[in-house]
Amino acid sequence: MRYDLNLLPVFVTLMEERSVTRAAERLGITQPALSNALSRLREMMRDQLFVRERYGIQPTPMAHELAPVIAAALAKIDEVVLGQQDFDPARAERLMTLAPNSYVEFVLIPAIVARLRKVAPGIRLRLAPFGTDLGETGVISGTTAMVFGRIVDPPDSLVVQHLLDDGLACVVRTDHPDIGDRISREQYEQMRHVNVLPPGRLRVGLFTALEQRRLKREVAVSVTHFLAVPEMIAVTDYCATLPNLICRRLAADPRLKVLPAPVDLGTFPVEMAWHVRYRNDPAHRWLRTLISDIAKEASDAK
């Protein structure tokens, strides 16, 4: 029997998104086009594959059985085909999907985009949400090229690479009435705090560090992205405890001042992961090296 390989990425995306609308958006096609592809998939596999429910679609037992087989088949095809291709970054035309957490999006992505503009202007990036687990990022199936952040319990199909370690510091407004050049433990515990709650498990890092050091913190407001912090700190007497590389950016804001944390809160790792199917992809391998170099430059400049 002949199989239309163009339909297999559609199957993988539907398995991950469980929504025809979201799958179409991610694949960059219209909903009618995706529905047509799904019809051909059903005919090819002789199964419904996905059943419509109130809040999206659910895979059938056969779809669950097919999912790892199709993922492995796509990985093998990529390994053979892409591994034979030459790659010239200056002439390459390619769209790559990355899933950074909010820390990486703030600290590394601008530098990555700037570097690509100089050395590989034809490589375009699409950023996907980091999500609450790796399955939601698309990296486990390989539809997302790389994921960045704290990689917890990765499956065997992912390769994980350490990028850098970062520490933590405090940010308050420059004219804070009670805080000078340092924050004491007592002051820290008496202040109200702005807390960052990015998606994913990275958020447990600061909570764990505070708990281990028995350092109390009264959270006044929680936000979902580091970009929201400067405006809140600038107009309140609140404090924010943030990664050093983010504090380095905020130190340029005259409204803010960066101070050491009252106790050493340790460090946290930042990692990059990708599906094994991209191990020998020349473009992917080149981009991984570029990102690793940028992460090292950022870390060395701390």
Cross-strand pairs, 46: none
263 secondary structure, DSSP code: S
pLDDT for the residue numbered 1: 55
Q: How far apart are alpha carbons 272 and 190 in whole angstroms?
A: 37
Residue 88 inside a domain? The answer is no
Count structural domains, the chain. Answer: 3
Task: Give the domain extent around 257.
Answer: 168-266
Residue 89 inside a domain? The answer is no
**144 and 286 within one domain:** yes
**185 and 143 within one domain:** no
**17 and 30 within one domain:** yes
**213 and 71 within one domain:** no
CATH of residue 258's domain is 3.40.190.10
Using DSSP, state whether 293 is helix, strand or coil.
helix
- Return the minimum-mean-pLDDT range out of 81-85, 93-97, 159-163: 81-85
Helices in the chain by DSSP H: which ranges?
8-17, 20-27, 31-45, 61-82, 102-107, 109-119, 134-137, 185-190, 204-212, 229-234, 244-250, 282-300
How many residues are recorded in the chain?
A: 302
Q: How far apart are alpha carbons 150 and 186 in whole angstroms?
A: 31
- Return the minimum-mean-pLDDT range out of 95-109, 203-217, 247-261, 265-279: 203-217
> Are 75 and 262 contacting, i.e. CB atoms less than 8 angstroms apart?
no
| 48-70 average pLDDT score | 88
Q: Name residue, tokens 């085909």.
A: 81
Per-residue pLDDT of 150-195, as tens digits, reads 888 888 888 999 999 999 999 999 999 999 999 999 999 999 999 9
**189 and 109 within one domain:** no
CATH of residue 53's domain is 1.10.10.10
Look over the chain and give the mean of its residue pLDDT values, rounded to a whole number. 88
**174 and 149 within one domain:** no
Residue 68 inside a domain? The answer is yes
pTM: 0.72
Q: How far apart are alpha carbons 225 and 227 in whole angstroms?
A: 5
Residue 100 inside a domain? The answer is yes
